[in-house]
Amino acid sequence: MRILLQFPEGLKQEAFKYADDLQREGHTVFLSASPSYGACDLAIDEAHYIKADKIIHFGHNKYGNINVKDIEVEYVPFYININIDFKQIVNEFKLKQYNQIAFGTTIQYIHLLDKITFYFKSHGINLLIKKGKIANEPGQLLGCDAEAVNQEEADAILVLADGLFHVLGLKPTSKPVYLLNPFNKQFRLVNEDIVKLEKKRKASLVRAAYANIFGILVSTKIGQFRLHIANNIKHHLEELGKRAYILISNEFNPMSIQNFRHLDALINTACPRIVDDVEAFKLPIVNIEDINKLYDLIAPPGFEPGSLDPKSNILDH
């Protein structure tokens, strides 16, 4: 069997070991050297070029309803076992009378969910576990899906993750949001960080309202391809007297985008976390979830483009 192995950056050092094992079994093995940002980013092009029978994608689990028809895809999640003393957290939650906690974590720690839930329950605190819109497991957070912790009945939110990336996928909330980093054991409130990022997004939206020439980003990554939505937005922007151009790429480099020198703003139909890098692009960026807000700012009364589901129209390969 011809197999393509794909690893995220933090796991590429493990690649040779897996390749050697598979080659000893008689398989022909290739390693994808491209960056991998998640399960939405399968190395489809490389697999087609080498006529691979199978992609083994390490570090993540299945993303949404992605279906690769002509190549078998195997997901191999990477789990990390950690020992954390949750006593301080339990004491703080009890002191503040937080009895219902919406809990979310990343794929690396999802296998510890039952153990963590049991610990909190044995100390009188109920962890609320919910499945997100795209994430494959209950309680799992993705950079583009924080729905697991969006729970009205929660007194507070607790996220177990290595850094801010996943927790910054949350929308600002009146509930206290805590981040526990299992490596440095840091436990802190992150509401201000979430609000700061949301302010950047709102500033981009306002700046984009003054734009005349828009670049609409369309990613060729299998879990991010939304050409139908991009065409829809292009049509509506042109109806509003704007110029709009669809920019296609597998990965959007800020310097390459800046070489389209006449662009005033970007509409992003790819990974919603691209907007986190708005300073690098040096242009306002609006995600498709906010496109109707942009229309409200620039359209005359009565303009009704209809709503867009940012998770719809993903190409079924």
3-state secondary structure 181-234: CCCCCCEEECHHHHHHHHHHHHHHHHHHCCCCEEEEEEECCCCCCCHHHHHHHH
Angular region, 79: left φ>0, alpha ψ -120 to 50, beta rest: beta
State the average pLDDT for the chain: 93
Is residue 314's pLDDT more than 50? no
What is the mean pLDDT of the segment spanning 118-130?
A: 96
**pLDDT attached to residue 317:** 33
**pLDDT attached to residue 300:** 87
pLDDT tens track for 256-306? 999 999 999 999 999 999 999 999 999 999 999 999 999 999 988 878 776
Alpha-carbon distances of 294 from 201, 203, 299, 305, rounded to whole Å: 12, 12, 8, 11
Return the C-alpha torsion angle 190, 191, 194, 200, nearest 10.
-120
Question: Measured in whole angstroms, how far is the alpha carbon of residue 186 from the centre of its chain?
Answer: 23
pLDDT tens track for 151-203? 999 999 999 999 999 999 999 999 999 999 998 889 999 999 999 999 999 99
Is residue 307's pLDDT more than 90? no
- The residue written with tokens 């979310």 in the block is 104
Confidence of residue 145 (pLDDT cuts 50, 70, 90): very high
Confidence of residue 70 (pLDDT cuts 50, 70, 90): confident
Is residue 311's pLDDT more than 80? no
Residue among 130, 285, 267 at smallest CA distance from 197: 285
The domains spanning 2-76 and 199-298 adopt the same CATH topology? yes
Confidence of residue 313 (pLDDT cuts 50, 70, 90): very low
What is the mean pLDDT of the segment spanning 95-110?
A: 96
- The residue written with tokens 């801010």 in the block is 164
**pLDDT attached to residue 84:** 87
Cβ atoms within 10 Å of 41's Cβ, excluding its own: 23
- C-alpha span between 45 and 4 (Å, rounded): 11
Residue-wise DSSP of 228-259: HHHHHHHHHHHHTT-EEEEEEESS--HHHHHT
**pLDDT attached to residue 68:** 85
**pLDDT attached to residue 301:** 84
pLDDT tens track for 223-240? 999 999 999 999 999 999
Spans of all domains in the chain: 2-76, 87-189, 199-298
What is the mean pLDDT of the segment spanning 88-95?
A: 95
What is the mean pLDDT of the segment spanning 132-140?
A: 94
In CATH terms, 2-76 corresponds, of 3.40.50.720, 3.40.50.11840, 3.40.50.12280, 3.30.43.10, to: 3.40.50.11840
Residue among 69, 17, 14 at smallest CA distance from 36: 14
Statement: 199-298 belongs to CATH 3.40.50.11860 = yes
CB within 8 Å of 220: residues ≥ 6 apart: 45, 248, 249, 250
Is 0.85 surpassed by the pTM of this model? yes
What is the mean pLDDT of the segment spanning 141-147?
A: 95
Is residue 51's pLDDT more than 60? yes
| 87-189 CATH fold | Rossmann fold (3.40.50)
- Three-state SS at 28: strand
- The residue written with tokens 């483009």 in the block is 305
**pLDDT attached to residue 309:** 54
